Amino acid sequence: MTLSQISRQMAAKAIKPDTAAHKWHVFKDIREARELIGATDRGLAILNALLTFHPETTLAGDAELVVWPSNEQLMARANGMPATTLRRHLAVLVDCGLIIRRDSPNGKRFARKGRSGEIEQAYGFDLSPIVARAEEFKDLAEAVRDEKKAFRVAKEQLTLLRRDIVKLIDVGIEERVPGNWGRVQQSYQAIVGRLPRSAPRQTVEEVCMDLHGLCSEIRDVLESFAKTQNLDANESHFGRHIQNSNPDSISESEYSFGKEDEAGGNAAETDNVRSLPRRDLPLGIVLDACPEIRELAQGGVIRHWRDLLAAAEVARPMLGISPSAWREACEVIGEQHAAITLAGIYQRAGQINNAGGYLRSLTDRARDGKFSTWPMVMALLRAKLDAQKAADTLDRGRSNDAAEAGDRLQVSDSLLKSLQRPKSR
């Protein structure tokens, strides 16, 4: 005997006489909520057998609810359950508060009837908790059904998210959308790998939240790229068409980007541009030399190197440069210098028929120490200064307004002196 059993007996005694419950409806609720109640499958089989010994389908609070079958009868109706198993699971039913033992002085189960045939005293198993706790069992069963429904919805959402993310990653790879798709796949596998073989609903929902965030990020990238492609198809926005032809059309000035050996730094290098110091290029100089890359930046503004890298990722597919060529350039000269190189190629895209082949050529030269971004940027700056000089010659005699002065390339005196120094032949 335990205190919980005593409290359940008190609740059973407090049943109102007019209370009634359909025994099979209550048994169905108990079966659905058996895990919350603590019942076992064998215990439910015994309870089902006990209910069959009560002649009435509706159990009333004012009726005699004690049944007294022998162990042999119970074993027969419980599909031949062994006696030891029967006793063990009868104890489980008592502990769960589904039945109450009404023991006789000698431990036997029987009923004593009066002269009129009515039962005066019965010893066996009291089924009154079935009536007393009918509403409780109904609420527990409803909670279990709601939990199963929520779990089913979570698993369906998980399946849809996994399918959508795999398809979106495939689209990004096949359409050559800029991005580190290998890293995206690793992130997806890491999230899915947190799912155990039998995951609870809370774990499934947490994984779904992370997958939903990843799916939203992938969609944003693909939608942004699709918008860029639509703008590119409009031709009026960019005003050029990149052609992919077999031969590399590289002019003499393009060879000056990296044709000669720059690694040695000896006296044989007579190009004034190539004699500039070996240091990182300022972002402002790169943008002065390659202003058209700003078109591809978000908001048309590049303030940091990461903005230039993002614009380069957009320019790469527009120039027809394959992901492998871009990846190789980043590995050889670094992401920052690869972005500068691509900005220079984009600046002169109208003079380069095969941008992908040209980038691979520059990457090979950089691997051999024959190419760096300084000469390329300086050559573009010098070309821009020459164009400005020609414009000044043609416009001499006319006053320049403030807007024309604002568009002119501004460089330092030392850099201007270095760019204007004649090259030795």
Residue 230 has pLDDT above 50, yes or no: yes
Mean pLDDT for the stretch of residues 179-199 = 88
**Between the CA of residue 181 and those of 99, 202, 297, what are the distances in Å?**
61, 29, 21
Read off the pLDDT band of 50 (50, 70, 90): very high
Look-up of token digits 């209550």: 26
What is the C-alpha to C-alpha distance for residues 240 and 171, in angstroms, rounded to an integer?
26
- In the structure, what pLDDT confidence band is assigned to residue 10 with cuts at 50, 70 and 90? low
Two structure tokens written together for 333: 């000269």
Secondary structure (3-state) at 22:
strand
Residues in CB range of 297: below 8 A, 6 or more apart: 307, 308, 310, 311
d(CA 316, CA 322) in angstroms, rounded, equals 8
Buried b (16+ CB within 10 A) or exposed e, 195-228: eeeebeeeebbbbbebbeebbeebeebbeebeeb
Name the pLDDT band for 4 (thresholds 50, 70, 90): low
Contacts of 423 (CB under 8 A, 6+ apart): 270, 271, 272, 273
* Helical packing angle, 335-347 and 323-333, nearest 10°: 120
Domains and CATH numbers, the chain: 3-132 (1.10.10), 152-233 (no CATH), 252-420 (no CATH)
Cα dihedral sign, 298-301-303-304: positive
Question: What's the predicted TM-score (pTM) here?
Answer: 0.47
How much is the average pLDDT of 392-415?
53
C-alpha torsion sign, points 175, 179, 182, 184: negative
**Per mean pLDDT, which range of 16-30, 71-85, 245-259 is the poorest?**
245-259
Q: Residue 313: how many CB atoms within 10 A of its CB?
A: 19
Look up residue 256 and give its amino acid: S
| 42 membership: H or E segment, kind and range | helix 41-52
Angle (deg, nearest 10), helices 335-347 and 355-367: 140
